[in-house]
Amino acid sequence: MYRYIIIGCISMIYAACGIPALTGRTENKAVPARYGSQEDTLNTAHVRWKDFFADPYLSAIIDTALQNNQELNIALQEIEMARNEARASKGEYLPFVGLRGGAGVEKVGRYTSQGANDANTDIKPGKEMPEPLPDYMVAAYATWEVDVWHKLRNARKAAVTRYLSTIEGRNFLVTNLIAEIAGSYYELLALDNQLNIVKQNIGIQNNALEIVKLQKDATRTTELAVRKFEAEVLHTRSLQYDIQQQITETENRINFLAGRYPAPIPRNDRQFGNNIPAAIHAGLPSQLLANRPDIKQAELELAAARLDVQVARARFYPSLGISAAIGYRAFNPAYLVKTPESLLYSLTGDLVAPVVNRNAIKAAYSNANARQMKAVYNYERTVLNAYVEVANQLSKIGNLSKRYELKAQQVAALTQSITISNDLFKSARADYMEVLMTQRDALESKFELIETQKEQLGAMVRIYRALGGGWN
């Protein structure tokens, strides 16, 4: 577990090679020791998602999504591609061995040096060289670049590191997927509860409308009051259809995340009020470096970028290659396996150093340096973003808890005021506008209470994600 980002500055490289030095910041960036005044070694991120999201309906949806989500399956294929690239880089590090076979025929001119020699050369006494001359060959050969400067070895390490990075990317995708499904599921429960409140309110308003009509018949009120109550009932009924549309869209969003076509989402909306988050243990900020997959992914990308710099630097140096071959070659298949007459072998070593193409190599090296610094900045940004996310959600959970208590008291007071206003209206001690405003205020306060509960559950989901939970 790293607590510091340390980027070494390469200050001296062989002057004869003309290699540019790596430039960039070298100061250390320390992760804060705690979140504000909190200090707790326990960490909610270590809780398995099935234990953190105890609702069985929600767990079933998440299980389905982890199997069917298309974006997650795409990430699995990207992991497979990265693993194959790592295998390919390992193959470049090892010697390449192959078999070669061939057959041909050649007719050279008589008045050439080769034709004159062939005409005066007998295979055996009294047996001339055949014309045209067949050629048969079978051999094994091998080529190997000696990795003197660790160019191929570092390239293989970089490929393996990027393969591990794709695994962390998949883990981060799992964390986001679980959080998004849980947030949408709690939003669906909130909409269900809002729909129930609207239906209850429609019943209350219909009763009030009947009372107003009776009072109008008794000439205790006017037609204006009746029309106002009717308009309020119609307004509330229109809210019902708006909420039903939101429920449909939320269900379809959950089904899309689960990789299936639209269908009703099974749920228990009565559990919505019982899902208020318990105590959250944020742990220490340094634990983010071990828990959050996006931070580990950025760290692996930084390590791979540093290896790329070493690979690019090694291209300035001479490369040593070795090639060898052994086999048989003859103009007649009957002589093909005669040893040692038909035996051939070769062993060659070559040393190649760049001379003309040095500008292209320098440009590639400069790009590798720039990519390394880009990876540094990305790592710093990822760590900073993780810390800010946790700090924001911790503050939000605390403030939402206080807000919920006040909203609950407001709802209780306004609910009682509905009965009081109705009684006053019946006894002609309050006008119809007071009744309407009381009913509307009570409806809005209940909606706001449910919204606060939904935000509490959303904050619980986001803090679990921000701490790095869910992927393990």
Q: What is the pLDDT of residues 134-143, one digit of tens each?
A: 888 999 999 9
| pLDDT at position 177 | 94
How many C-beta atoms lie closer than 10 Å to residue 384's C-beta? 12
pLDDT digits (tens, 9 = 90+) for 403-446: 888 888 888 888 888 778 777 767 766 666 777 778 778 888 88
CA pair distance 101, 427, nearest whole angstrom: 111
Q: Which residue has the tokens 């869910």?
A: 470
CA neighbor of 323 nearest in space, from 49, 95, 162, 159? 95
Cα angle, residue 81 at apex, residues 361 and 71 outer, rounded to 5°: 120
For residue 351, the surrounding DSSP H or E stretch is strand 343-352
CA pair distance 256, 245, nearest whole angstrom: 17
Give Cβ neighbours of residue 139 (< 8 Å, ≥ 6 apart). 99, 100, 101, 325, 326, 327, 328, 329, 344
Rounded (to 5) percent helix, strand, coil in the chain: 65, 10, 25
The three-class DSSP label of residue 151 is helix
Q: Give the Å distances, CA to CA, from 64 to 69, 176, 260, 372.
A: 8, 15, 9, 39
CA pair distance 402, 20, nearest whole angstrom: 58
| pLDDT at position 214 | 79
Is 109:116 a contact under the CB 8 Å cutoff? Answer: no
How many C-beta atoms lie closer than 10 Å to residue 28's C-beta? 10
- The strand pairing partners of 321, in sequence order, are 145, 350
CA pair distance 380, 386, nearest whole angstrom: 10
CA pair distance 181, 176, nearest whole angstrom: 9
Residues of the chain with pLDDT under 50: 1-26
Give Cβ neighbours of residue 49 (< 8 Å, ≥ 6 apart). 62, 178, 464, 469, 470
CA pair distance 445, 438, nearest whole angstrom: 10
Q: Give the Å distances, CA to CA, from 104 to 101, 136, 329, 331.
A: 11, 7, 11, 9
Q: Give the Å distances, CA to CA, from 368 to 286, 371, 372.
A: 29, 5, 6
Q: Which two tokens stand for residue 384?
A: 């900073």
pLDDT digits (tens, 9 = 90+) for 231-277: 888 988 998 999 999 999 999 999 999 999 999 999 987 777 666 65
